[in-house]
Amino acid sequence: MKTFATLLLLSLIAFAPTAGRAEDKRIVMIAGKPSHGPGEHEHRAGLLLFQKCLAGFPGVQVEVYTNGWPDDEAVLNGAAAVVIYSDGGGGHPALQADHLQQLGALMKQGAGLACIHYAVEPTTEKGQQEFLDWIGGCFEINQSVNPVWAAEFKTLPDHPITRGLKPFSMKDEWYFNMRFREGMTGVKVILSAVPPPSTMSRDDGPHEGNPGVRAAVAKGEAQAVAWASERPDGGRGFGFTGGHYHRNWGDDNFRKVVLNGILWVAKVEVPPTGVNSTVTAADLEQNLDPKGGKPKVKAITAPAPAAK
Reduced 3-state DSSP string for the chain? CHHHHHHHHHHHHHHCCCCCCCCCEEEEEEECCCCCCCCECCHHHHHHHHHHHHCCCCCEEEEEECCCCCCCHHHHCCCCEEEEECCCHHHCHHHCCCHHHHHHHHHCCCCEEEEEHHHHCCECCCEHHHHHHHHCEECCCCCCECCEEEEEECCCCCCHHHCCCCCEEEEEECCECCEECHHHCCEEEEEEECCCHHHHCCCCECCCECHHHHHHHHCCCCEEEEEEEECCCCCEEEEECCCCEHHHHHCHHHHHHHHHHHHHHCCCCCCCCCCCCCCCHHHHCCCCCCCCCCCCCCCCCECCCCCC
- Ordered by start, the domain boundaries in the chain are 24-284
Q: What is the pLDDT along the chain (308 residues), one digit of tens a residue?
A: 444 343 333 333 233 333 455 578 999 999 999 999 999 999 999 999 999 999 999 999 999 999 999 999 999 999 999 999 999 999 999 999 999 999 999 999 999 999 999 999 999 999 999 999 999 999 999 999 999 999 999 999 999 999 999 999 999 999 999 999 999 999 999 999 999 999 999 999 999 999 999 999 999 999 999 999 999 999 999 999 999 999 999 999 999 999 999 999 999 999 999 999 999 999 999 999 998 765 544 433 333 333 32
The CATH architecture assigned to 24-284 reads 3-Layer(aba) Sandwich (3.40)
State pTM to two decimals.
0.89
